[in-house]
Amino acid sequence: MTDTVFPTIGYLAWQFSQNIAGRLERELRALDLTLAQYNALIHTVRTPGLSSADIARRSGITAQSMGAAVNQLIGRGLLRREPHPTSRRSMCLFVTEEGHAASARADTVAGRIETETTSLFSSGDNRTLHRLLYRLVEELNPDSLASGARSDVMAPREDRS
């Protein structure tokens, strides 16, 4: 006999994640963005100069899927590539002015969905939930929480789009 409670924390977290991701994916379509593209935008806004592979690791998305998302964003003028200052094999990504505007619109959608899905909790409950989830993610995928300028990439050039 087992003392395991069903549903488990993992199952509940997965169900919640699926609900949020599904809602976000549907609503981002109206902004002509996929969830992978939104991840690329928000990580590049937070940390200019990341590579596509960096963003894939932070997002938990395959490098191939992220590469396709990034290429689409570049094609639409929302991101641009710059050569890495020390690695001839890497390219650094930067958000264009249009990309910042698209990211802000998507952030508004994401914020509304978060508010709707957590509205049954008090503000104290929401802070506790956020703190606990943050600790879990910090332990399991700390790169996904990384932000700030990286010292190993050059400063972005002026937007030439």
DSSP code string of 22-72: HHHHHHHHTTT--HHHHHHHHHHHHSTT--HHHHHHHHT--HHHHHHHHHH
Which of the listed CATH numbers 1.10.10.10, 3.40.50.300, 1.10.1200.10, 3.30.70.330 matches domain 9-140?
A: 1.10.10.10
pTM: 0.83
Place of tokens 């710059």: 82
Q: Please list, in sequence order, all residues whose beta carbon lies within 8 angstroms of the beta carbon of residue 14, skipping any fewer than 6 positions away.
A: none
Q: In whole angstroms, what is the distance from residue 114 CA to residue 117 CA?
A: 5
Domain segments of the chain as ranges? 9-140
Helix (H, G, I), strand (E, B) or coil at 120: coil
pLDDT (0 to 100) of residue 96: 98
Per-residue pLDDT of the chain (161 residues; tens, 9 = 90+): 456 778 999 999 999 999 999 999 999 999 999 999 999 999 999 999 999 999 999 998 999 999 999 999 999 999 999 998 888 888 999 999 999 999 999 999 999 999 999 999 999 999 999 999 999 999 998 988 876 533 333 333 333 33
